[in-house]
């Protein structure tokens, strides 16, 4: 991640379209790269700064008295926070840390496999006082390749399954970037770079700290368990008012040694013990379907000879490039339909035919999911359809406040030429509320 010099972000809520009867305004600005937030029982807002703009993740508290830094110096990236009974649960690369009411800190879980493309994510707290959180994968689609920027620093890192699997004998050839004088590197699925799958029915053992998994533990981090796997990046999960755990999962890209075109982002209902389909399914369909073949690429082959189980169908699917992140359930009848899900769509650069571009029509908006029929509608979007400095740039979280209004964290300015460059002090919190007539 790069940084660019600070300049004031000029904001104009009028550039954002919201449904008739609603209004959007700037609630806070001058943040760095906010990725999430949560309200305390006193109405204070705790804000998680990812550290992607400054390389110094922070937890901030915003109250009537102003904004203060609660804690800083976490691993980059900080991916989310939650709060219970005065304790702040902070997820950052490889670690879950608790900030106690007296300000002391304790790493309750560490050593998570977060050195790859995706990290461990925000914890959710159940009614029976267990924590649940997603652990992202090392790679895009199960094979370490030249698209993995972490390869030089962690050359022996790779994806680990959550149960015993039997692999097809499928290997991928690339330039040997680690030892250029050697012959091309042949890499297999669920293997380090340059290590092929050598047998027709190669068996890989599952591990507790698996890639693409849902993990649970006690509030103190003890008794950690693997409760599901087969998700590429289960970024956010939250219990609804029926005590069902809903998971947002980010789909595969058309990049790397095994590009998958047109893979979908998904909302899933948590099913204990389930395998959700990664790396061989997207949106409930096998990646051998024609729609997943890149225009000038190799048709994806299944990595698994036999699947651990039939993947659960998604509750809702989102277009390629949406990059769904944080979400919340509306519980105020004055705002809209009770129980509907409002979700932040970060948007992303797609890797298609070796060209990077920001795709109009997806991402950079807030979507509304009808929980009764799965229908997805755009709720808030820039009138241009593209990310804008003056409007929505990189939405990362949606939270309803004690006042019934919707609050949105917007990470930072997105630049079409440099889409992964984050500008310090350009993070925003927007507020959407119903107009009182």
pLDDT by residue for the chain (437 residues), tens digit each?
Answer: 444 455 678 999 999 999 999 999 999 999 999 999 999 999 999 999 999 999 999 999 999 999 999 999 999 999 999 999 999 999 999 999 999 999 999 999 999 999 999 999 999 999 999 999 999 999 999 999 999 999 999 999 999 999 999 999 999 999 999 999 889 999 999 999 999 998 889 999 999 999 999 999 999 999 999 999 999 999 999 999 999 999 999 999 999 999 999 999 999 999 999 999 999 999 999 999 999 999 888 899 999 999 999 999 999 999 999 999 999 999 999 999 999 999 999 997 544 444 445 566 789 999 999 988 889 999 999 999 988 889 999 999 999 999 999 999 999 775 556 667 788 999 999 999 999 87
Q: Rounded to an integer, what distance in angstroms lies between the CA atom of residue 45 and that of residue 70?
A: 12
Residue 291, classed as helix, strand or coil, is helix
262: left (phi over 0), alpha (psi -120 to 50) or beta: left
Q: Rounded to an integer, what distance in angstroms lies between the CA atom of residue 142 and that of residue 139? A: 6
Confidence (pLDDT) at 413 = 73
**Is the residue at 269 inside a domain?**
yes
In a domain, 392, yes or no: no
The answer to whether the beta carbons of residues 283 and 268 sit under 8 Å apart is no
- Residue 419 pLDDT: 64
Encode 200-228 in three state secondary structure. CCCEECCCCCCCCEEEEEECCCCCCEEEE
Residues recorded for the chain: 437
CA angle 200, 204, 205 (to 5 degrees): 155
Instruction: Let me know if residue 1 belongs to a domain.
Output: no
User: Cβ of 66: how many Cβ atoms within 10 Å?
Assistant: 7
The whole-angstrom separation of Cα 221 and Cα 399 is: 25
How much is the pLDDT for 417?
64
Residue 89 located in a structural domain: yes
| Residue 294, burial from CB neighbour count under 10 angstroms (0-12, 13-18, 19+) | middle
d(CA 397, CA 107): 24
398 belongs to a structural domain: no
**Sign (positive or negative) of CA dihedral 24, 349, 375, 233:** negative
Task: Provide the CATH number for the domain around residue 165.
Answer: 2.120.10
Cβ distance 60 to 67 under 8 Å?
yes
User: Structurally, how many domains does the chain consist of?
Assistant: 1
In a domain, 78, yes or no: yes
Q: What is the pTM of this model?
A: 0.95
Q: What is the DSSP string of 119-151?
A: -EEEEEE-TTSEEEEEE--SSSSS---TT-GGG
CA distances (Å), origin 61, targets 81, 217, 238, 333: 12, 26, 22, 28
Which residue range forms the structural domain that includes residue 57?
13-310
How far apart (Å, rounded) are the C-alpha atoms in residues 166 and 405? 49
Q: Is 306 helix (H, G, I), strand (E, B) or coil?
A: strand
- Tell me the C-alpha distance between 211 and 134, whole Å: 9
Q: What is the pLDDT of residue 418?
A: 65
The pLDDT value recorded for residue 358 is 58
Question: Residue 361: its pLDDT value, please?
Answer: 76
φ/ψ of residue 283, rounded to 5? 60, 25
Report yes or no on 376 lying in a domain.
no
Residues contacting residue 20 through CB under 8 Å, at least 6 positions apart = none
Q: Write down the pLDDT at residue 3.
A: 45
- Classify residue 61: in a domain, yes or no: yes
């Amino acid at each position: 991640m790069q940084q660019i010099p600070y300049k004031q972000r000029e904001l104009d809520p009028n550039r954002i379209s919201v449904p008739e009867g609603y209004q959007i305004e700037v609630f806070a600005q001058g943040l760095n790269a906010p990725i999430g937030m949560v309200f305390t029982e006193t109405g204070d807002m705790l804000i998680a700064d990812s550290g992607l703009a400054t390389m110094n993740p922070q937890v901030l508290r915003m109250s009537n008295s102003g904004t203060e830094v609660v804690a800083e110096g976490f691993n980059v990236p900080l991916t989310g926070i939650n709060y219970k009974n005065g304790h702040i649960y902070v997820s950052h690369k490889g670690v879950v840390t608790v900030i106690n009411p007296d300000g002391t800190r304790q790493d309750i879980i560490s050593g998570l496999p977060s050195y790859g493309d995706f990290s461990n994510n925000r914890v959710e707290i159940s009614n029976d006082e267990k924590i649940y959180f997603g652990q992202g994968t090392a790679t895009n689609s199960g094979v370490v390749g030249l698209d993995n920027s972490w390869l030089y620093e962690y050359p022996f890192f790779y994806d680990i399954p959550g149960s015993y699997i039997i692999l097809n004998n499928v290997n991928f050839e690339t330039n040997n970037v680690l030892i250029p004088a050697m012959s091309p590197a042949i890499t297999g699925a669920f293997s380090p770079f340059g290590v092929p799958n050598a047998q027709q029915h190669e068996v890989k053992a599952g591990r507790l700290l698996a890639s693409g998994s849902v993990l649970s533990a006690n509030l103190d981090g003890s008794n950690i368990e693997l409760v599901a796997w087969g998700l590429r990046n289960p970024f956010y999960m939250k219990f609804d008012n029926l005590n069902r755990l809903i998971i947002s999962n980010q789909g595969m890209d058309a990049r790397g040694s095994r590009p998958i075109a047109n893979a979908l982002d998904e909302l899933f209902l948590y099913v204990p013990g389930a395998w959700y389909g990664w790396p061989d399914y997207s949106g409930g369909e096998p990646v051998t379907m024609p729609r997943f073949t890149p225009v000038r690429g190799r048709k994806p082959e299944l990595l698994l000879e036999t699947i651990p189980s039939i993947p659960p169908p998604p509750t809702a699917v989102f277009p390629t490039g949406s990059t769904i992140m944080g979400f919340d359930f509306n519980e105020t009848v004055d705002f809209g339909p009770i129980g509907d899900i409002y979700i932040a769509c970060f948007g992303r650069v797609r890797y298609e035919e070796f060209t990077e571009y920001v795709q109009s029509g997806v991402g950079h908006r807030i979507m509304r999911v009808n929980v009764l029929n799965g229908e997805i509608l755009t709720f808030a979007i820039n009138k241009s359809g593209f990310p804008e400095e003056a409007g929505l740039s990189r939405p990362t979280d949606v939270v309803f406040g004690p006042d019934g209004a919707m609050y949105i964290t917007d990470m930072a300015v997105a630049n079409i030429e440099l889409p992964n460059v984050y500008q310090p002090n350009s993070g925003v919190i927007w507020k959407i509320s119903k107009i009182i007539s």
